Structure 1
Amino acid sequence: MIGQQAIRDWLFINGKIEKAVHILSSLHSPDDKVFVNRKEKDGSTSKVPCPLALKDYNSNMNFVDNFDRLKKDNQCDRKSHKWYMRLFFHFIDCCVVNSFIIYEELDTDGKKLTNKNFRREVYTGLLSRKLVDVQSPSILKKRTKSTTEISNHKPHVSKHLRLTESKHQPTQISSRRCAMCSTKKKPQRTK
């Protein structure tokens, strides 16, 4: 059951076919009607009258549904109490999804990335080289204390780098202590 009402140049449509529908349009008139195919429960199709505004909505809604699905799959949204932070994360997600859609359209090398892997590539590209790149031991020896302040937030480093390329690796002994901590004069142990 679909009800519609026109006031001046605006068309209001509300009703329920399978789910509630509310449409406000200034493009369509209430006299514009088309017939669409509707699938019945037994599998047959029948022609049903439908407002043109609803048909246009259904034909163009696929792009919005696809965008919402891509955004929801791997969103970076955090549960923040601040409204402006939630808005900021929403815009970051929208930018990444839009860039993924453009990447899919312009992909010329044939190497297709999934949405998740594309996000990882974007985030890895945006991170500082200090967090991502593995530095050679000669550079580590030359470096003195860092002048930058260490934050409380631990950045995400890929599992491969964390488990294989770190200077501070555990060794296999009976008490499972770190090789670096076990050689200190005052070893620290956790209880």
Structure 2
Amino acid sequence: MTPTDTNPPIRCLLSAPSISNPPPRKGVPWFPAVNRGEVSACHKNNMMCFKWSAKRMVHMLTSIHENNIIQTEKRDYITGEPIRKPEAVVDYTQKMRIIDKADMLLSCVESLRKSIKWYKKNFFFRIVDMARLNPYYMYLVKTGIMPSFLEFSHTMIHQMLARYREQQVPRPHSFRTGTKPLRLTERHFPSFVEATPTNPRPRRRCHVCANAQLRQRKRQMTHWQCADCGIALCLPECFRVYHTRVKY
């Protein structure tokens, strides 16, 4: 790597100092410690690599910027002097605004889950989440309607499930195979929750009251259940709603 301009406060690396364990990165220079506001930079051909000290150390690679420090519109609240930054940092900050906004939207409703596999993180964040964000922006441009990203995601997921979910063929109830009739296509009858040796009249939590989507959820205990579905339900409303509606 060869040094770039040496105008202050730019400090360029002329030769790497002797260190016991140099970083094993081919073609990447070793930068010495720099004071706050200073830059240490090197370049090779059309690629420049620099280290800038601000609140924290910033390392950047660029092929379109010069080794320049420019004056920004912001001022230091202590000294009142204009804040000076590398041209590459200022350009990067201006161009990253839409990316930061996209990351902000995805952070609220991201599908990312903890995993020790790196490819799972890339799949859920880079493919699944971005596949929801791109049609959201297209919807805003085409329709002019501005729902929240969460509402748009819920609507899109429901429509995809309604269109592409696997259609199940109704089967007769069989105690040998363990199959159960579909709750929307077969006849079901209420029964009491099965008693136990210690509780002759047990109660269970109503499934519809606890998982309602079109009304406020609540904790409601009931003695009744659907024997075929194995679900506890209040009589008569929750029992009827569960067996006649997909969404309740």
TM-score in terms of structure 1 length: 0.62
Does the alignment pair 1:59 with 2:127? no
Counterpart in the other structure of 1:101? 137
Counterpart in the other structure of 1:120? 154
| 1:85 to 1:128, Cα distance in 2 relative to 1, 3 A | farther
Cα distance, 1:141 vs structure 2: 4.6
Alignment of 1:31-46 (within 5 A): 32-41=68-77, 46=81
Matched position secondary structure for 1:124: helix
> Which ranges of structure 2 fall in alignment gaps of 5 or more residues?
1-36, 166-183, 188-210, 233-248
Cα distance, 1:116 vs structure 2: 0.8
> Which ranges of structure 1 fall in alignment gaps of 5 or more residues?
132-138, 143-157, 165-171
| 1:83 to 1:53, Cα distance in 2 relative to 1, 3 A | closer
Counterpart in the other structure of 1:19? 56
Question: In structure 2, how many angstroms separate the alpha carbons of the residues matched to 1:188 and 1:160?
Answer: 17
Cα distance, 1:25 vs structure 2: 0.2
Amino acid at match of 1:176: T
Out of 170, 185, 203, the position equivalent to 1:140 is 185
| 1:188 to 1:118, Cα distance in 2 relative to 1, 3 A | closer
Amino acid at match of 2:223: R
Cα distance, 1:129 vs structure 2: 5.3
Out of 23, 34, 47, the position equivalent to 1:10 is 47
- Higher helix proportion: 1
Question: In structure 1, how many angstroms separate the alpha carbons of the residues matched to 2:231 and 2:92?
Answer: 65
Counterpart in the other structure of 1:87? 122
Question: In structure 1, how many angstroms separate the alpha carbons of the residues matched to 2:100 and 2:158?
Answer: 27
Q: Give a deviation string over 1:1-31, Cα, whole Å, max 9, x none.
A: 231222221111222323332211001122x
Aligned residues: 150
Contact kept? 1:80, 1:86, Cα under 8 Å: yes
